[in-house]
Structure 1
């Protein structure tokens, strides 16, 4: 099978989050992911009352969103990552497609994941990978810091966030990521591959 490009790479061609106004929190799109990550993210925000935070949640999550107290410095935004991430200076991101979207918008991030411990042990028996975030898997190296299970703490996320902000971190590996994904239109590439396949069998 031939790789035909990634739709996200084409979608975010020439786009970048601009400005420097808030820290983004992306707790996931599944009920259990949000339940595990959101309290940690809120406690992280409480460590920095002078910083503005924004939770970015997909509209579909509103029906099962946890009813827990929201810190005063946290805004909840319902919508797309592309729109919600504009003007972010850092992101704490639940592992999944979101980490790739954040990467393609060139926003520094830490990727986190807290899972049911039994499910995680079972998964490790069948899936052997070095990394769990999409950007690192694609690049096959630890370009982005990953925190798993007990490593996902407000203090640890805070340390990484403040280090990134103070250093005015750049994200040179994201250019490598875009190159790896190939920003050529997946639709066009797929069409070409299908034409070649049909032609070869005529």
Structure 2
């Protein structure tokens, strides 16, 4: 069997999920292959040797990146030098396009086969990036079916693989028993609170989310609140906030287990990002909130080419869930939007139907589809022999 040297770089938790599934699938096909680069706990558990902590790449927004720019450029330079000296058979950049695309360009220029997993949001902003992507990437793996049309101008090689989250959720035995896991009574209604996985997201969103929870509890004393922390650092950050300002609130702070929290919830109050897709695939009504530095938001809002910012609305092509952003993000507004879901069975039923259709569209065995596309590319490049 062919043993390959495969390099991968992921920049945040969602990429770590994608990367771990892909490493596992490639390991089955090519035993004794080695995997190195940058990834999180899941990719490391799957067999990656990580050359730097993934959190070094997890930076939100344009303004926030500036203070970390020298470090990020230095890290990318060191990775380029390492892989030019020790070329892998294939390099796979997983999302994080501001970091990985230039890395891919440099490696492709040197003759190394490159793959980019997750199409950058060229349909939302920076549409001209399709030309940079063509220059940097031999194969683009897309998670959503509508993305291919945006690359027709460059004749980009692109493969729609579906989304691994749909596959995982379809087979997760913990989902049906999630309420029992958290010892919830049948009479209790559950609000999941997910203010994000980054420190900056917690800083901007956790307090207004919890203040909204307090208002909700005052209006509905049968409510309980579940708050999952993405990792130990976020747990400590959230615990301090609860101890200082929300010790009166019936909120369970939980290490990890965000999917089980969402599965147990009647409504989810959630930061815009990949977690909203997970909530969609779990068919849960949600209120999407987001806030960032004012200058960053001003720049992003001018660049945005879609009427929506959240994945459920973008995928549906309609405003299925409320988006509460920047100055509109007040406890009162969040509370009102959550209460609407609690009170409106008709709207809730429609959204669940639409979310079910999205689930079926994305449930395609993505790890296998992605590995198939990469294997075919490597055969065409002569890295693997043709059968």
Normalised by the size of structure 1, how large is the TM-score? 0.87
1:114 Cα deviation from its structure 2 partner:
0.8
Distance change (3 Å), C-alpha of 1:198 and 1:54: closer
1:88 Cα deviation from its structure 2 partner:
0.9
1:103 Cα deviation from its structure 2 partner:
1.2
* Structure 1 contact 25–54 (Cα < 8 Å) conserved: yes
* 1:177 equivalent in structure 2: 358
Q: Does 1:67 align with 2:240?
A: yes
State which of 228, 235, 239 in structure 2 corresponds to 1:56: 228
* 1:3 equivalent in structure 2: 160
Moved more, 118-127 or 39-48: 118-127
Work out the CA distance in 2 between the residues paired with 1:155 and 1:64: 24
1:137 Cα deviation from its structure 2 partner:
2.2
* Structure 2 contact 288–324 (Cα < 8 Å) conserved: yes
Q: Does 1:40 align with 2:208?
A: yes
Larger-Rg structure: 2
Secondary structure at 1:72 match in 2: coil
List alignment gaps of at least 5 residues for structure 1.
none
Secondary structure at 2:193 match in 1: strand
CA deviations 1:12-53 (Å, max 9, x no partner) are: 116656666311111111111111111111211211231211
1:179 Cα deviation from its structure 2 partner:
2.8
Root-mean-square deviation (CA, aligned residues, Å) is 2.3
Secondary structure at 1:175 match in 2: helix
Secondary structure at 1:52 match in 2: strand
1:84 Cα deviation from its structure 2 partner:
2.0
* Structure 1 contact 45–73 (Cα < 8 Å) conserved: no
Q: Does 1:134 align with 2:314?
A: no
List alignment gaps of at least 5 residues for structure 2.
1-157, 180-187
Q: Does 1:151 align with 2:324?
A: no
Work out the CA distance in 2 between the residues paired with 1:86 and 1:75: 15
